[in-house]
Structure 1
């Protein structure tokens, strides 16, 4: 039996190492490794000056008049990047070269000065856990429940669970149909004596006997429209 099968709920940002036990990747914590670690709030701050927490990581920034070094942590006085006219800031590369820097979730535009949004939803189809859809935001993304699911408690943890449209009354079945809930959706089935697609149901008409049909035929032949007077 693999370790993965020992975890009833998958580890979000880590690996299963035992019965319902996850080993989290750096930057994450929690029983399912689904909680971000705020490195900027730790007693030993990782940055020499300003720190910005990101999902699963962090980014260091410097005060005005300082420049971020190549290590990504240390700020050095002097060599201001005003000449580069960066939108946000700059950092010193290895070898002494300088380049503009963008906050997490953004990347340098073609002019190497301004920053553009990164669409994380287009970069990866598996950025969100099952039953969730990725929605891009400026500088990041959020995972929202897919249609047919709502956020709630499932198996002891907060997850996207099935939305029972039949129970909540949010279905679009005919009043002459029965709503049948399915995982993430529902179906409509017309009741007895009705037919249709479930969204619309018509009453079935009883088949007419040949005697009944012949009677109406003879009646129609006897009834003639009145001729108008000229």
Structure 2
């Protein structure tokens, strides 16, 4: 049996030189890292994530890492939060997403996506469907 990039140690038993691995046909080929999103994996299934990313429990996928919890959102890149639907970034804290109401609440505060909580002394205006107005009773 002729072997390239390796040595046979017994009949039908060959070992590849360093930096080479056997492919599915038993041929020794150069061990080139495989690209995975946000990292690199070798043929021996060891993966290294790019800076700002960490491996999942399988070690085959790299996820972004945030130093703080993304409130009402998710970590979408190294130390970068993206908001869930119905939320926008808090202007004072990039790791916090606050609910948004459209149209904006009138005489109240936006307490959830398109949910207005009326100030004391006001009630929800029921004259229009989906109204974000709070009026005096």
Which category describes the TM-score, using the shorter chain as reference length?
0.3 to 0.5
TM superposition score normalised by structure 1: 0.22
Structure of greater relative contact order (alpha carbons < 8 Å, 6+ residues apart): 2
Q: Give the TM-score normalised by the residue count of structure 2.
A: 0.33
